[in-house]
Amino acid sequence: MDPQHFQIAQGRVMSDPEWIALESLQEDTKHFIFDDSMLVTLKRRGLAEPSDGRWRVTAHGRRALTERARCAQR
C-alpha cells in the first residue's frame, strides 16, 4: 500500500495531504505532486471534480479550504 493512503482523512476533517492537493488544484498549479488516487479521494469526498479535462475545486471544497484556513489562524 502506498504511504499516501495512510494520510487520507476520515470524516469531515481534511488530512494535510488532502489540503495541500486541494489548494494546488485551486491555485491551478502546473506541478501536481500527488497521484490519481488523491484526485479520486477528493472527488469521493465532494471536494473536487473533473471538468473539461481538468480538475476543479467544488463549492464544498472551497468551503473546506476556508474552514481549514480559519482554524489555522487560531
Q: What is the pLDDT of residues 20-74, one digit of tens each?
A: 999 999 998 778 889 999 999 999 999 999 988 889 999 999 999 998 888 878 7
- Better-scored residue on pLDDT, 2 or 71: 71
For residue 68, give every residue at least 6 positions away whose Cβ sits within 8 Å of its Cβ, in sequence order, or none. 14, 19
Residue range of the domain that includes 29: 3-73
Alpha carbon separation from 46 to 3, 26, 42, 57 (Å, rounded): 22, 14, 6, 9
pTM given for the model? 0.77
> What is the tally of structural domains in the chain?
1
Residue 7 has a pLDDT of 47
